[in-house]
Amino acid sequence: MCALCGVLGGSDHWTDSAARPGVFTRNTDSFSRRRERMLRVTQANHILKHFGMSLSDWQGASYLLSTVTGKTEIVDNLTHLWVEAEKLSGRVCDPLDTGLIERMERLHG
């Protein structure tokens, strides 16, 4: 575990950095790793709000996905997030859904 950022091991999800040469290495240091996680949580929440859910960071290692009624699941990465979001909300989280797209378009004008 990194004593400074509290990250246990490293995620090898494609949206994160990976410890092999040449791979996208945006998050090689703890500060940018933390910052990236914050950005991810902030942005994901704009979408999850549409489904009555929210996301928060948990110790820089996982995320907590919660419904407005308090049902909560731990998720590891963004791929895992959408699987759990559909289970928890009982709704289809489809980025091609016209209603969701229109909401996103309204959000940023």
Partner 1 sequence: MAELIPDFTPVNLLTGFLGSGKTTLLQRLLADDDFADCAVLINEFGEVGLDHHLLERIDDTMVLLQSGCLCCTIRGELSDAIKDLHEKRARGEVPAFRRLVIESTGLADPFPILSTIHSDPVLKHHFRLGNVITTVDAVNILAQLALQEESVKQIAVSDRLILTKTDLADAETVVHALERIRAINPAAPLWRGAEEKVPAWALISFDDSQITASHIGVFDEKRGHSHDHGHHHHDKNRHDAHIRAFALTFDQALDWTAFGIWLTMLLNRHGNDILRVKGILDVMGSEVPVAVHGVQHLVHPPVHMSAWPDEKRQSRIVFIVRGLDPMQIERSLRAFSGLGEMTPARVA
The residue range among 2-10, 17-25, 57-65, 66-74 that interacts with partner 1, by the rule CB under 8 A, is 17-25
Site string for partner 1, 85-104 (x = CB under 8 A): -x-----xxxxx-x--x--x
CB of 46 or CB of 71, closer to partner 1: 46
Q: Which of 37, 39, 51, 38 is nearest to 103 (CA)?
A: 51
Q: At 72, is the secondary structure helix, strand, or coil?
A: strand
Q: Out of 3, 20, 70, 99, name the contact with partner 1 by CB under 8 A.
A: 20
Question: From the CB of 102, what's the least distance to partner 1, in Å?
Answer: 8
Q: In angstroms, rounded to a whole number, what is the distance separating the alpha carbons of residues 72 and 50?
A: 17
Asked if 39 interacts with partner 1 (CB under 8 A), we say yes
